[in-house]
Amino acid sequence: MNPSHAPEPAGETPSLGAARQSTDGVASAPPPPPARPSGVPATGDTPAHRWGFGAFLLVELVFLISSVLVVMPFDRTATGRLPPVGVLVSVAAPTLLATLVALLATVVRGNGPLKDLKLAWNWTDVRLGIGIGAIGLVVTVIASNLWSRWVGGDNANSAVGSLLDGLELSPLLAVLIFLHLWLVAPLCEEIIYRGLLWGAMERLRWSRWTAFVLSTAIFAAAHLEPDRTPLLLVIAIPIGLARLLSGRLLASIVVHQLNNLMGALGILLTALGAMPM
C-alpha cells in the first residue's frame, strides 16, 4: 500500500486546517469579519441599561414643574422679586431634584450612575477637562463680549444674573450661590444632558457625533433663554467635545465647572461688595 494514501486512524477526524490546505501545503486564512460601520458600537459595547429618552423627558418634566412649585411658598417683595432665600431655592432646588430623578432612573432601570453614566474618577479625564476647559474659557469670554456688544449690556444678562441683579445677599447666601453655580450646577447638568441624554442615544446605537450634536443643541435650548441660545451653543461645544473625546462624563464636568467659574465668581464678588453692581 502506498504510504501517501494510507487511511487515517479510526476515530480521528481530519482537522479543519488540513481540510483547508491548498495543493502546495499552505493553509489558507479564514475570511475576515465584515467591517463595522464607523460610529456604530460593537454588539458587546451596547449599554445594558433599560432607560432611554423616556427617562430624560421625565427629568425635564420634573425640572419644569419644580421650577414653578418651589417658589410658591415665598412672598415676593414690593417690586415683585423673590427674597434672597427664594432666589437660592429657585436656582438650586429644581436642578437638584431633576438630577436625583436621573440618578434614580439609572438605579431602577440600569446598573447605577457609575456604570451607566460613565461617571468615575480618572486623572486623565481631569487633565483633559482642564486643557479643553482653558481653551473653552477663552472662547466663552470672547463670545460673551461679542454677544454683549451685539445685544447691549442690559440685555446680555443670564436668567440667574437677572434674578440676582441688584439683590442684596448675605455673605452666606452669596457663598452658597457661588458654590452651586460653580460646582453643583455643572455636575447636575452634565449628569442630565451628557449622561442621561447621551446614554439614551447610545442605547439606540446612534453615533458619538450624533450624540454630541444633539446633546449640545438640547442643552442650549433647555435653558429656556431664547435670546442667549446662540451664545449657549458656543459655550456648550467645548463641554460636549470633552465628553466626545474622553468617552466618559468627568472631563465634561471639569470643562463645565471651569466655564462657570468666572460668572459665579463675579456674582460672589458683587454680592460681597468687592465689585460694583
- In this predicted model, what pLDDT tens digit does every residue of 151-196 receive, in sequence order? 776 666 777 777 777 778 889 999 999 999 999 999 999 999 999 9
0.85 surpassed by pTM: no
Identify the band that residue 38 occupies on the pLDDT scale cut at 50, 70 and 90: very low
Asked whether the predicted pLDDT for residue 277 surpasses 70, the reply is: no
241 and 129 Cβ atoms separated by less than 8 Å = no
pLDDT in tens, 24-33: 555 555 565 5
- In angstroms, rounded to a whole number, what is the distance separating the alpha carbons of residues 277 and 270? 6
The full set of domain ranges for the chain reads 112-271
Flag the least confident range among 42-46, 85-89, 158-162, 224-228.
42-46
Cβ-based burial of 216 (10 A; exposed 0-12, middle 13-18, buried ≥19): buried
